[in-house]
Amino acid sequence: MMLALKFFLVLLPLLVVFVGILFFRRNAAEMAVVGLIICFAIAVSFFETSLFVATAATIYGFLQSFGISIAIVFTMLLIFIMREVGALETISKAIKRVAHTREEQALFIGIGFGTFVTSLGVVTPALFPPLLIAMGFGPSSAVAISVLGYNASTSFAILSIPITLPADLFAGEVGMTALEFGYEFAFKISLFLPVIATIISCAMLWIVGGLKSLKKGIVPAVLSGLVIGLSCIFLVLIRAPIMILGVVAGLISMIVLYIYFRFDRKRKGIELEQDPIDRKKLLRALSPWLLLIILASIASIPSVNVFLRSLDPGFTSRIIAYETIEFNVFAQVYFWIAVSALASFYLLKPNKEQTKKALKTWSRSIWAPFIAYSLFFSIAYIMAFSGHELTGRSLELISEDYNMNYITGIVLGDIFGPGYIFVAASLGLFGAIVGGSETASNVLFFGIQRQVSQQIGLSDEQFMTVYASHGVAGGVASAITPSKINNAVNTIGKGNKLESEVLRKHLMIVFLLTIVLSIMTALFVRLAI
C-alpha cells in the first residue's frame, strides 16, 4: 500500500471528527464514537492489527483516560453544588468590587480569575457569560472573554492534568520519571506564556471595545499577560507543586491587577469603594476550592506523592497483554476533587431542593464529556498499538510500516524535514479542536510528535520544546473549539448566528497566535532553550 494512502487513512478518523464537529455541529461525544469506529476498522483492515489487539487498545485507552474523565465528572459536581447554593454568585460579586471599567473587568475576570478557576476545574465557558452579560457586556464580548481569556494557561487547567497525565503515560519514552517529565514539560510551556498571554490580553480588549479599549487598557493588559507568564516560569523553577501552578499564577495575576487598579484610581483621584465585604460569606463560598488547593498541594509533595502511590496495588488485565495499569487513585487529582466535592455538601450546606437540583443537573451533564474524553484516548491507543501482535505475554511490533504513528511521523518528516518545527504547533491546535481539549490533544498526538522529532534528528530536550508548543497551541484552540463556543452561547440563550460571529473573530486571533508560537518554537529549538 502506498505511503500516501496509508497517511490519508491514518488521518481519516480525525478529519471525519473535525468535519463533523465544525461543519455539521455534532457534539464531541457523538463524533468520538464515529472516530473510534473508523479508526478501529482502519487499524484492523489496513494496518495488520488483529481484532484482539485493537479491542485491547480500545480498553486500555478507556482505562488510561480516567485521570481526566473522572476528574471532569467530580469537578462538574462541585461546580453545580456551588452554583445552586449561590457560592459562585458571592465570588462574582466580590470580583466586581475590584474591577470597575469594562477593560478592567475583562482582564481581571478573563485573564486572572479565568486562569484561577480554570486551574481548579471550573468550566469558564459555562460560568462566565451570564455573569458578564449581567455586568453590561454585549453577547459577543461575553463569549469572547469566557473562551479566550484563560487560553494561555490552559496547560495548567484542572490542577494541571494536561501536564501530569502525559507525564504519567509517556515519561519512560524520553528516559525520565513522571515528576521529571512533568516539570520539564511545565517549564517548556511556561517559556511561551509571557508572549502568548500578553497577545491574548490585548486581543481580548480589542474584541471588547476595539482600538479605544486597547488604548485604554494596554498597560494592565501587558501587565496581566507578563505576570501570568513570568509567574508560571518562577513557580516551575522553585519546583512549586505542578497541581497548583495555574491556581497560584492566576491568584498572583489578580493581586497584581488589584494593586494596579487601586493605584491607578488613586492617581486619577477616583473615590475607592468603601462598603465592607462580608468576609465570612465569601470565605464560605470559597471553602471547597480552598480545601481542594490544600489537599492537592499536600498530595503533590514528592514524598507524600510516593507514599500515596504505594497505597495503590495497580491493576493487571490479560486482555491488554499483561500490561499493568497503575491507577494510583490516592495520588491522582480526581480523588481529591471528589473529596472536595463531597465535602462541599458539609461546607456549603445545600438544602434538599438545592441538592436535588444539583445532582439532577450533574447526572444529566456528565455523560457527554466522559464519553468524549474516554474514546479519544482509545483512538490514541489504537493508533499506538496498530501493527502489533500478541506474542506470549507482550505486544510485538510486526513492522513499523504498519504503525499509524510511525507512518504519520515518516510522512510529516519527509514533507517538512527540519522545517517541521515551524508547523509542530499546528498539530496541537488541530488535536484540541478534534479532541475537545488540550489534554486529549497532548495524549492523542504524543506518539506522532515523538516520531517526527526522531525522524528529523531532534534531541529529547528539543522534542520537549516541540511538545510544549503543541500543548500551548492546544490551549489557544479553546478560542475556536466549537463545543466550548456552543457551551458559552447556550448559557445566554443565543443561537448559531452568534457562534459563527465569535468563531470568525477568533480565527484571526488564533491564526496570529499560531504563527507566533511557530516562530518561537523554531527559535527555542535552534537555541536549545
Name the DSSP letter for residue 392.
Answer: T
Distance of CA 448 to the CA centre of its chain: 19
Contact 232, 94 (CB under 8 A): no
Segments of the chain with pLDDT less than 70:
1, 122-123, 126-127, 134, 271-275, 313-324, 393, 435-436, 482-483, 486-487, 490-496
Quote the pLDDT of residue 429: 86
Closest Cα to residue 422, out of 293, 529, 322, 522? 522
What is the rounded CA–CA span in Å between residue 355 and residue 372?
27
Amino acid sitting at position 191: L
Q: SS in 3 state form for 7-69?
A: HHHHHHHHHHHHHHHHCCCCCHHHHHHHHHHHHHHHHHHHCCCCHHHHHHHHHHHHHHCHHHH
What is the rounded CA–CA span in Å between residue 247 and residue 115?
7
Q: pTM of the predicted model, to two decimals?
A: 0.81
Contact 192, 513 (CB under 8 A): no
Own/partner pairs for 296-303, CB < 8 Å, 24+ apart? 296/159, 296/241, 296/243, 296/244, 296/333, 296/336, 297/241, 297/243, 297/244, 299/243, 299/330, 299/331, 299/333, 299/336, 300/241, 300/242, 300/243, 300/244, 301/241, 302/179
Contact 300, 244 (CB under 8 A): yes
pLDDT in tens, 52-103: 899 988 988 898 888 778 887 888 888 889 889 988 888 877 877 787 788 8
Q: Which residue has the cell 511557530?
A: 518
3-state secondary structure of 390: strand
* Residue spans per domain, the chain: 3-526
For the chain, helix (H) and strand (E) counts, in that order, are 24, 4
Across the strands, what pairs with 389? 396
Quote the pLDDT of residue 482: 66
DSSP string for residues in 412-446: HHHHHGGGGGGTHHHHHHHHHHHHSSHHHHHHHTH
Quote the pLDDT of residue 24: 80
Contact 452, 424 (CB under 8 A): yes
What is the rounded CA–CA span in Å between residue 235 and residue 284?
28
Quick one: CA dihedral 283, 289, 293, 295, positive or negative? positive
Contact 106, 203 (CB under 8 A): no
